[in-house]
Structure 1
Amino acid sequence: MIQGNSIYEITRSLGEEDAARVRRLLEGGVKIPPQPQVLEELRKHMARKEMDVRRLARVIEQDPGVTALLFKVVASPAYRQHQPIDSVEQILHAVGVQQTFNLVQAIAMTQAGDLKKNKQVYEAFWSRSQRIAQLAMLVADERVTVCNIFPDQAYLAGIFHDCGVPLLMQRFPVYCAAMGLGEPGRWVDLAEEDRKFNADHCVVGYLVARHWHLPEFICDAIRFHHALAELPDHKARSMVAILQLAFEIHYQDLHAPNPEWDGVREHVFEELGLSTDTLPEFVDIVKERFHEAGY
């Protein structure tokens, strides 16, 4: 059981049905991962507007795992204009304090949770999330002048978009097998998830994102990343379009069918300024940059 009222207060932003589902999951043992110390300290400094990059760098460097992955992320082609980068201070200067904080949040989420059980499954899950996040970051970098979504924001949404899935894995021991997540190219079918578990990983992910104080439009994108048509014209819609194109490129890279693409393609084109004619060349550019990063 989650202690305190903050999680339950967040459920008030959900509809009655979704809120009831979330309450049942929480009462049934779903545990929202707490934010690590490095994020708490960074947030305190930023709330006090203490932007001394040397001090912020020291906070980040207290967590060697986060630091190592931060260097890996900023080595992405999306940040090639800043290379070479040799220190956390340089990352903060080059990428920006808020942008670096977004990346640290994403990295911290990949390290949250108990991996003692089903370690291989969780590692495969986060590997997929990191691939989606890298692709989303590259799509955002290529279309930033069109949709005004930046690579760090897209990476954050890419890491968090399915973060409800491992929580449902923890709650329901048969979840992974029942959803066929071990099959190549297979991912969660929302209708099947609802029928078998009376749960929605998008809503659970939204809950996590709100609890971790992610920007509101990213929280909305997480909640509606399988329901692009339901979003009005604002940044969350653009973010979901980026995620959906990242999914499509991911499936193409696996040579697997994407069950959602036909239903969202025109919405994605509208948001990102693409078309049936321009898409293949755009995808080739993103794939080339993606594989350049070693994926």
Structure 2
Amino acid sequence: MLGLQYFSFADLWSPLILAATLLLAAGYLLLVGPLAQRFPGSAIVPVRQRVLFMGGLLALYLAQGGPVSLLGHILFSFHMVSMALSYLIAVPLMMLGIPDWCWRTLLKVNSLRRLSFLAHPVVAALLFNGLFSLYHLPVIHDYVMLHFAVHRLYYGVLFLTAALMWWTLINPLPERRKVGSLGQIGFIFLNMVLLTPACGLIIFAGAPLYATYSDPSAWARAMGYCVSGDPAALLRTFGGPAFFGGLSPKVDQQVGGIAMKFIQEFIFASMLAYVFYHWYKKENRQDDADTSAPSGELGDGFLTRV
């Protein structure tokens, strides 16, 4: 399917990344299992929370080491699916899978405390969306795709900034929550708006933007970092990315932009509905409590809310 049969097991499943993923999974299970008692305030981590972390880890592996990663080097549409899996799905799932006592221990590290300003909602939103949009400028994207060390470094920075961005929405520590429900709603809208220009550029461009998906020579060089063999042999065998899909580079690019925007809108719209629902329930409970309270208490409650 989609030409995957032409590649080896190692090309499709990246054994080194698979081994690193399995080691990370084992380390997590040790941390929340036998080693948990070494941390102050530790408690049993529910199965549901462990499943969330493992699901996020699986999504990250598929996007960065599995077949989706390989397809992301062949077709731009799969590249955008890989980006969505990595930063909009894997990151929040893994963060939700980390228990609160782990977060408290981690945030006691002095160097991290000095960088806490990076988790400010506006700063975090601008950092992630800015770096994501910058990456999809054609000259930046092609350079990153054609330089392996820069590629890995940039993706690592995107992962960290995605975690900073998601912290505002899924922070499990009440004592560190600085944004209420209305603030979270505004934060979600901010993220939805900030990613729109990059997706719009990709969707409405009149011609293919990226040499690594339209120029066979650049494509073969980029493929040389994720599959075994000589890039020149890849070029002789397949002729370019057009061999693997029925879409032209321009249409493939448009599909990728639409897919990214749709996935982002769906995820953030779901978060928006969740935050709004719980905010609405909380306000209704507060109103009911004020209505049933004696007159003196009603006045105090009203002043507190104001």
The answer to whether the superposition gives a TM-score over 0.5 is: no
Higher helix share: 2
Question: TM-score, normalising length from structure 2?
Answer: 0.30
Question: TM-score, normalising length from structure 1?
Answer: 0.31
